[in-house]
A and B are shown apart, each in its own frame.
Chain A
Amino acid sequence: MLKQKKDNRSSYIILACAIGALLLVLLLENLNLILPSVPAVLLPTSQLFTVLKKAAVYSLVAVSMNLLNGFTGLFSLGQAGFMLLGAYTYAILMVPAAAKDQVYYLYGGAALNNSLQDILNGVFGSTGVGGTVSLILSVLIAMILGGLVAALFAWLIGLPVLRLKSDYLAIATLGFAEILRAIFQWQKLGPITNGANMIKSFPTYSDFNIRAGGKVVCYLSTFVPFLVAIICIIIMVLLVNSTYGRAFKAIRDDEVAAEAMGINLAKHKMLSFVTSSFFAGVGGVLFAMYVANAQAKVYTTTMTYEILLIVVIGGIGSISGSIIATFAYVACSEWWLRFLDAETYIGSFKVPLLRNGFRMVVFSIIIMIVVLFFRKGLLGDKELPEAIRRWKASAKVRKERKAQKAQKEAATK
């Protein structure tokens, strides 16, 4: 009974955090409209919002990878491939008919004549409220389809490869991602995938800003990725806390013991793999919207490694850790550590080493330090509230010990 109550409380906390984060983003984004003058960092062109958007996208992908690697113990390196599937599904379905000829000019037009939005525009109308409804609906449908395509391919490749052991699974999924990348660059599929060229001109986040008379009256371009990412992450948290989640953890901790306890290994591994890929696909859609194009050569193994390293920094098996690590990582790489890439002079003294590329070197050294010396990452496999509780408890113990020691010393004197 008591347990039940506690669980309810923690889910309220999660919900409150999520709503709080969303409101905060909404407020931050629109402060420049409310207040007469704001610091440069709050202007819509600020680096802050780029970071927030990218971090929202990456945190979804990182959590989806953590679901697989951290909670189920399946070491998969195919995340970029599933993102690619999501991104391309979205891009192919959403390029408006008017832009098709321009985007697919090398292939003399596209195989699909209409975008989802065009079709829905026909139903709801393309202006005013009808236009908004058709935009939201079409993006939503394309997003879910993107996830489903990724999940379908995950199911297909999962059938043979999920039987493999840890590192073989890693290399097989990595190879699968590379195969996907090659297929999407194939010239023969040009009318659909635009070959090796990028697909662009589809709706992005800025299309969600509410405009009136040519002026933006309400910014939503950062709010939208946050909303999608938060909903997806909450679904994954629910999954992890369900009986399925407990089965995943059992598989991670000891496959043989889990099987002996009656857990269907194949079924649960597949469920975890497909779910993770679904959300990686949705993450791919969000990423395509973030960079405003879809191009196969972006979704390389380096991207997977980047996400894996974020997961490692946050702690394998901690969702809140992954989220915190993503925001820290993206903020550092896109914003705070940018100065490392620029040649800097203090007076006439040229600061040594600072040159293009130095930021990434510093980054990889930090990552190696985390991997070697702080193997548990930021939060280990605990979630944030528990980590704070433990930290507090250990601080208390330390304090008590100190007090005891002082007492003893006083007594001996």
Chain B
Amino acid sequence: MQFAVSILLSGISVGGQYALIAIGYTMVYGILRLINFAHGDVFMVAGLLGIYLTATMPLYISLPLVLIGTVILGFAIERLAYKPLRTAPRMSVMISAIGVSYLLQNLATYITGGQPMTYPNIAILTKTVTIAGTPTKMAVLVTPILVIILVVALTQLINHTKIGMGMRAVSKDFETAQLMGIKINNVISATFIVGSALAAIGSMLYFSCYTAVTPTIGALPGLKAFVAAVFGGIGSIPGAVIGAFIIGICESIIKGLPSAWDVTVFSDAFTFALLIIVLVFKPTGLFGEKATDKV
């Protein structure tokens, strides 16, 4: 029982962290039709920023600074690497995203010297609490709650503010939105800002549980979050969150299977198998809208 609870808890917390990354993917894909391969690396950079900033500043200054730094990074990536390619074929933008991911990873290797860095101890998040007889970190408890709060706030933003209306319009039809006087560049920037901010929060929660930050650590959570976004129906925020929780829990269950079967190596592979199955049988995901191709 205790074992089951601990697996479920860790699954929910990992799922919540994926959810925070997945929202960034799904929003950008919804608007630009771009798989932002660099998003996972933005998440990694947020982790590194956390390490470097907390080394010199107290937590209550450094954590907001991490948030701001990550947002600036996301904004800059969009302006420098994606905006010049707005009229280019979709493939070029995706290659640019891969290039940015490559650049961020190499830059991180250069700055850290390739060594795994230890994430600072955020006392509130790493405190041990006991749930149903299972000792666990506070982050595990905070994550799902925080995710739910943030998702509610985000849906409010999208449904009830002007910029949110802009986002919905742009994701429906890029060109028409432009004709209707929506400043698409502002809308796209706002999307990247929201996505990066959520990735920064995700990184704080994630690295409080897995303390080592390496230059390539963002790639896998990034891809998994993308799978979660596809699973939930790309473009749909609640879909991405539910997809992320399902993936997180499944992964945690696979990791918890008897060690004699030795299937832990498949915890990552499972996610991708799920992706292929979803893409083949229900490409629109759980909550996605059906898109029709026009000639």
Interface residues of A (CB under 8 A from B): 69, 75, 157, 160-161, 163-164, 166-168, 170-172, 174-176, 178-179, 181-183, 185-188, 196, 256, 301-302, 305, 308-309, 312, 316, 355-358, 360-361, 363-365, 367-368, 371-372, 375
Contact = CB atoms under 8 A, between A and B. Distances in A.
Nearest to A356: B113
Contact of B103 (A166, A183, A302, A368): A368
Nearest to B98: A305
Contact of B106 (A163, A308, A364): A364
Contacts of A172: 275-276, 279
Q: Which 5 A-B pairs have the closest CB atoms?
A: A175-B272, A182-B269, A357-B110, A364-B103, A360-B106
A302 B103 CA distance: 12
A181 B272 CA distance: 12
Given A168-B283, A360-B106, 12 more contacts: A157-B276, A167-B33, A168-B230, A170-B35, A171-B223, A188-B262, A361-B110, A364-B107, A367-B102, A368-B81, A371-B81, A372-B84
Nearest to A373: B84
B102 A364 contact: yes
B106 A182 contact: no
B262 A357 contact: no
27 contacts: A75-B94, A164-B283, A166-B94, A167-B33, A170-B94, A171-B227, A171-B275, A172-B279, A174-B223, A175-B271, A175-B276, A176-B276, A178-B269, A181-B269, A187-B265, A256-B295, A302-B105, A312-B95, A355-B113, A356-B113, A358-B110, A361-B110, A364-B103, A367-B99, A368-B81, A371-B95, A372-B85
Contacts of A187: 262, 265
B290 to A, nearest CB: 14
Contacts of B90: 166-167
Contacts of A301: 219, 223
Nearest to A184: B265
Interface in B217-233: 219, 223, 226-227, 230
Contacts of A367: 99, 102-103
B279 A164 contact: yes
Given A160-B276, A161-B276, A371-B99, A182 B266 contact: yes
B33 to A, nearest CB: 8
Interface residues of B, number: 48
Interface string B41-83: 0000000000000000000000000000000000000001100
A187 B262 CA distance: 7
A355 B226 contact: no
B280 A161 contact: yes
A161 B106 contact: no
Contact of A375 (B92, B113, B226, B279): B92
Given A185-B265, A364-B102, A372-B81, A167 B272 contact: no
B109 interface: yes
Nearest to A368: B99
Contacts of B84: 372
A9 to B, nearest CB: 33
B272 A176 contact: yes
B266 A175 contact: no
B149 interface: no
B216 A302 contact: yes
Interface in B248-274: 262-263, 265-266, 268-269, 271-273
Interface of B: 33-35, 80-81, 84-85, 88, 90-92, 94-96, 98-103, 105-107, 109-110, 113-114, 216, 219, 223, 226-227, 230, 262-263, 265-266, 268-269, 271-273, 275-276, 279-280, 283, 295
Contacts of A170: 35, 94
B259 to A, nearest CB: 10
Contact of A161 (B94, B103, B268, B279): B279
Contact of A160 (B101, B219, B280): B280
Contacts of A188: 262
A25 B243 CA distance: 54
Contacts of A75: 91, 94
A167 B94 contact: yes
Contacts of A355: 110, 113
B102 A186 contact: no
Question: Which residue, B81, B110, B263, has most C-beta atoms of chain A within 10 A?
Answer: B110
Contacts of A305: 98, 101-102
Nearest to A77: B98
Question: Which residue, A170, A188, A367, has most C-beta atoms of chain B within 10 A?
Answer: A367
B250 to A, nearest CB: 15
A357 B275 contact: no
A365 B273 CA distance: 34
A183 B263 CA distance: 10
A309 B283 contact: no
Contacts of A356: 110, 113-114
Contacts of A368: 81, 96, 99-100, 103
Given A256-B295, A368-B103, A171 B35 contact: yes
Contacts of A175: 223, 227, 271-273, 275-276
A315 to B, nearest CB: 12
A371 B92 contact: yes
B272 A178 contact: yes
A187 B259 CA distance: 11
Contacts of A361: 103, 106-107, 110
A274 to B, nearest CB: 18
A163 B281 CA distance: 11
B268 A178 contact: yes
A357 B114 contact: yes
Contact of A360 (B92, B94, B109, B265): B109
A357 B110 CA distance: 5
Given A355-B110, A363-B106, A308 B276 contact: no
A166 B39 CA distance: 19
